[in-house]
Structure formats: C-alpha cells, structure tokens
C-alpha cells in the first residue's frame, strides 16, 4: 500500500472563550488507502473536509491546525515526521497541483525558472541540465514551442496552459503520489477534458498514484479507480468507482449524483441534496412558455475590437466579437457557450456597455442602447443587470448585506423611504432563500452559494427585465449550483425575467436555456433551440463541446 490514512482527525484552534480553548473539528476520524498505481477520488461539497484531509498528508495546513491519527506513506508515519523530513518528501515523493494556477505560480519568475527549482533542489541537477529537463517536461504536458515558453511569464499563458505548467512542475521529480485538488474546476469543458486525459496518461506512464479531489462526480467517474465520499468531515461511502455509480449505498452519494445537470435527462427542476435525502420525487412538470412573448432585446451586428501594441509605435486590431445577432423574448433564456477566448463574456459586457462597442445595434424598448447618452443609459441600466462569476469579488466587503441591497435603490430612487427600502430588501432576501438576519451581516460571513444569491437579490432591487449571467454558477458546488439554477427558474416564472446565460458548461445551459448560441473566436458558429442543438448539432465545434462534457463512469 502506497499511502494509508488511519483515523485522521483535524481540528482548528479558534481562540479562547470563558478561559477555555475553542476548537472546530474539520475531519472526524477518516480512514482510507491509496494503492500503488491507482487513482482515489475524494468527493464532497465545500466544507466536507476533503481538502483539509489531503493537505494533512504533507502538513500544508495553517499553524492553528491540530492533527491526530496516522498517515503511513510507504510505512513511514508522516504525522511524526520532522519539518526537514517533510521538506524532503514534498515535491520529490509527493507533489501537489492546486485549483487556481495563477495563485500557485510566482508572477515575477518565468516558467523556466519555476520548473528548474525542484530539479536543482531535489535532484541536484546543474542549471543547464535542469533547463533541458524543463523543456522536456513542457513538451510532455503538451505545451507547444516548449523552448520559447520557458522564457514566458505565467500571465502570458492561458488558464489551461498554466495548469499544464503546474502539472509539469509536480511531475518534475517523478513523485510516487500526486495530490490534485480541484485541478480542472476553473477550466472550460474542452480544456478540462484535455487536462484530465493528460493526467491519466502521465499517471500510467510514470506509474504513480493520484489523490484527486473534486465536488463533481461527473469528472470523478472518468478518472478514478476508487471513490471516497465525504460530508461534514466524515466518510459517508467508499467503494470502487463502478459501485459508486452503478449501486451507491449512501443517500448523500445518491443525492450528489442526482443534482448534477445531465445532457440526457430534462427535469423541470434539479434535485438538491436535502430533497433527495428526504425522498422527494423529481419535478418533471415543465412550465409552458408563452410562444407569443414579445421580443425584449434585439441584437444586430454587435462588434468589439481591442487595439494591441504591435512593435514600438504600431497597433493591431484584435476582433474579439465579430458581429453577433440574436433576439431575446420576454421570459426566455438565451444560452451562450464556447471555450475560454471565444468572445462570449466580451459579448455580454459589450451589450451592457461595460466595454464600449466597436459597432452594431442593441434595441431595447424601441431604443438603441449603444447610442444613448450617459443620463439616458443610466436610466436604462437599471432594467438590464449583470451577475458575475465570482461571488467573492462582486460584493463590497465593507458593506453589510442591508447596505448592499439598499444602495442601488437609493441611487435610482426606488422606494419611498429608508424603511420602505429595508422592507423591500428583506422581501428579496426571502425570495432568494435567505432571512432577515442576513441584513446586518457582512459578505465574508456567507458561503459562495449564499453570496451568489445575495448578488442576484441585489440585481432584483432594481426590478430589471433582463439579467446577463456571466458564468454565474461555475464557481459553485454541484449541489449549490442546483439550488441557484432552480432559483433562477423560479424568479423567471414569477417576474417574467429574460436571461442571457453565459457558460462553458453545456449540461447547465441545456437545463436552463430555451435557445443556445455557440461562439468560437468571436464568431457565432451555430444557433438553435436547445433541444435541437443538443440532439443534432450541425457544427464540429459544437460536437466537440458536447463531447467534452463529463458523463461520469462508463463501463469499458
């Protein structure tokens, strides 16, 4: 057995209360094994303890963490290892790949400088030998022109390339165990597919084991040999991957499988964890849309270019959006999909004039939004709102939730008094599944899913008619994602809202959208009703996006 975790407990000291040390128990007696040359997946929602468990292996935890139990790596108990012994193991025998490569790569060092460091430190290579090996590693992880890329800085590479660099760094010393903590969550589906296939291929080539951490059972089913399901710091179920998908025993495992959107099924509402555990039946009662609903937004020839520096004095035009056309009906959802760099987010921001357009027309209520003066545009802006991807960055950390919700109403003169605005804010919090106690709290006191609900409530304070949702659920756990998607459908039914739903995940888009627009390199390559596009895509690019969606375990 390569690694054996036995009765691991992890607590965090929180300070003293009434003279007694307070502790929060994050991991509550976890035990599982990682055999040689195998992939074990740790699955669970945020707060389940999966990352704390994995980071305990190399003690990459805050100083207030207390660990007990045993972590046996090739017979050595890492919990008893000294700091110098752990430093010798880190990177050489056990390596890590984290979720966000930009927070793991040093922005002031080149890719080559960061790759040679573990080679010189652990393998005692000369600088010249290390640079030759670094080039080989970049080639191995599929980065084009590896010699040139050694001189690049992290910000000069795409998210997928950054993650490949992280994998190359992790593999530099040919470790026996690779810990991959949500390594594909921030990537679009095609890059996610490439990274998953790359990790699987490298695992087999180097005959190493992998501990793969994820909240998404769809991804886990395609890469793992064994699955460990965690919730609230405890293991709920552990079994071979085929058993988890074909015959799950625990209600929580069944719920995780049920709440993920699927390309094959079409429920009216997604099951959430509590619904499934409570034994509620799936809701397949689809609400009929008004086929005669008026067109609320008409976009014609929308274009956006950026001018990039070319040489010492020159400039060149980069066409990010090359002429987008669509109609959006009242109460309908238009899904916009494509890989990173396809222009879908730029299109949404240009529509809102958060980027000034290069050309085109956006007709709303008989007026072209792109030609309005500042005063007229501010009046229109309250009717078209946006929800961004990152719920942690989109709320002011210095404002209470009450201030966050009242501010837009005060700016636009909504509500007759402070008390009236307060009452409206409380009512909107109730609409999005939060209560009045949230009014006096700050954003850091809420989970990611709750913050996204608050961001949606803030948009609703202005009584908008159109919401642009830019990757609004991609940062959320699948269970929380299901809650927010159901909420969006409920709000659409109640208020007649129209959505432009931008996403890289076609399974999510299929669930919520009536029509789908597929973008590639700034162009619209395909546009059709959702059911039609999913069933019979015309373009190879659309088929590639559909083929990249994780489908869970499929028996070979």
Model pLDDT for residues 296-332, shown as the tens digit of each residue: 999 999 999 988 777 777 788 888 899 999 999 999 9
Per-residue pLDDT at 553: 62
Phi and psi at 537, nearest 5°, equal -65, 140
Query: For the chain, which ranges sit under pLDDT 50?
Result: none
Question: CB neighbours of 56 closer than 8 A, spacing ≥ 6?
Answer: 8, 10, 27, 65, 67, 71
Number of H helices, E strands in the chain: 21, 20
Per-residue pLDDT at 399: 92
Read off the pLDDT of residues 241-278 as tens digits, 9 standing for 90 and up. 999 999 999 988 888 888 888 887 778 888 888 777 77
Hey, what are 213's tokens? 């951490």
- Nearest C-alpha neighbor of 471 from the set 351, 336, 332: 336
Give the residue ranges of DSSP H helices in 60-183: 83-89, 101-104, 111-123, 127-140, 146-149, 159-171
Question: CB neighbours of 10 closer than 8 A, spacing ≥ 6?
Answer: 25, 26, 27, 49, 52, 53, 56, 61, 65, 66, 67
How far apart are the C-alpha atoms of 94 and 177, rounded to whole Å?
A: 5
Q: Hey, is 549 helix, strand or coil?
A: coil
Partnered with residue 234 across adjacent β-strands are 231
How far apart are the C-alpha atoms of 260 and 97, rounded to whole Å?
A: 25
Q: Hey, is 412 helix, strand or coil?
A: coil
Partnered with residue 499 across adjacent β-strands are 333, 467
How far apart are the C-alpha atoms of 226 and 34, rounded to whole Å?
A: 9
Q: Do residues 530 and 515 lie in contact, with contact meaning Cβ atoms separated by under 8 Å?
A: yes
Per-residue pLDDT at 220: 87
How far apart are the C-alpha atoms of 238 and 376, rounded to whole Å?
A: 59
Note the pTM of the prediction, 2 decimals. 0.81
Per-residue pLDDT at 554: 63
How far apart are the C-alpha atoms of 391 and 467, rounded to whole Å?
A: 16
Question: CB neighbours of 374 closer than 8 A, spacing ≥ 6?
Answer: none
Q: Do residues 98 and 163 lie in contact, with contact meaning Cβ atoms separated by under 8 Å?
A: no
Q: Do residues 473 and 508 lie in contact, with contact meaning Cβ atoms separated by under 8 Å?
A: yes
């Amino acid at each position: 057995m390569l690694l054996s975790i036995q009765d691991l407990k992890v607590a965090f000291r929180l300070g003293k209360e009434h003279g007694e040390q307070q502790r929060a128990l994050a991991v509550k007696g976890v035990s599982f094994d990682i055999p040689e040359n195998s992939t074990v997946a740790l699955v669970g929602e945020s707060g389940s303890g999966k990352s704390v468990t994995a980071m305990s292996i190399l003690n990459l935890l805050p100083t207030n963490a207390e660990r007990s139990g045993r972590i046996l790596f090739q017979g050595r108990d890492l919990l008893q290892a000294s700091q110098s012994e752990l430093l010798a193991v880190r990177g050489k025998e056990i390596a890590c790949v984290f979720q966000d490569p930009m927070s793991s790569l040093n922005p002031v060092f080149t890719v080559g400088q960061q790759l040679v460091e573990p080679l010189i430190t652990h393998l005692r290579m000369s600088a010249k030998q290390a640079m030759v090996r670094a080039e080989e590693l970049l080639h191995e992880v599929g980065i084009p022109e590896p010699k040139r890329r050694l001189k690049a800085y992290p910000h000069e590479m795409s998210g997928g390339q950054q993650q490949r660099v992280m994998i190359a760094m992790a593999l530099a010393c040919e470790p026996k165990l690779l810990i991959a903590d949500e390594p594909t969550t921030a990537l679009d589906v095609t890059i996610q597919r490439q990274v998953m296939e790359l990790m699987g291929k490298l695992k087999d080539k180097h005959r190493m084991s992998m501990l793969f951490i994820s909240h998404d059972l769809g991804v886990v089913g395609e890469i793992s040999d064994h699955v460990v399901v965690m919730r609230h710091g405890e293991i709920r179920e552990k079994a071979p991957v085929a058993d988890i998908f074909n015959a799950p025993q625990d209600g929580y495992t069944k719920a995780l499988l049920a709440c993920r959107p699927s390309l094959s099924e079409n429920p009216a509402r997604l099951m959430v964890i509590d619904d499934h555990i409570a034994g509620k039946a799936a809701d397949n009662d689809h609400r009929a849309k008004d086929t005669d609903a008026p067109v609320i937004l008409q976009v014609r020839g929308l274009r956006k270019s950026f001018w990039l520096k070319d040489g010492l004095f020159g400039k060149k035009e980069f066409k990010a959006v090359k002429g987008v056309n669509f109609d959006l009906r009242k109460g309908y959802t238009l899904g916009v999909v494509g890989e990173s760099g396809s222009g879908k987010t730029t299109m949404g921001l240009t529509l809102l004039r958060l980027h000034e357009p290069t050309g085109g027309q956006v007709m709303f209520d008989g007026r072209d939004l792109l030609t309005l003066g500042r005063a007229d545009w501010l009046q229109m802006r309250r009717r078209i709102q946006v929800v961004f991807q990152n719920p942690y960055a989109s709320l002011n950390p210095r404002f209470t939730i009450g201030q966050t919700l009242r501010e837009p109403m005060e700016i636009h003169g909504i509500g007759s008094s402070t008390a009236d605005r307060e009452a409206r804010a409380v009512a909107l919090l109730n609409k999005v599944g939060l209560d009045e106690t949230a009014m006096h709290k700050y954003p850091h006191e809420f989970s990611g899913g709750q913050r996204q609900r608050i961001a949606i409530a803030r948009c609703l304070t202005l009584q908008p008619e159109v919401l642009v949702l830019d990757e609004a659920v991609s940062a959320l756990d699948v269970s929380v994602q299901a809650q927010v998607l159901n909420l969006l459908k409920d709000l659409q039914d109640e208020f007649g809202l129209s959505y432009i739903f931008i996403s890289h995940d076609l399974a999510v888009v299929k669930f919520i959208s009536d029509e789908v627009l597929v973008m590639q390199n700034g162009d619209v390559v395909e546009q059709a009703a959702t059911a039609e596009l999913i069933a019979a895509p015309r373009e190879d690019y659309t088929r590639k996006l559909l083929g990249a969606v994780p489908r869970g375990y499929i028996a070979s």
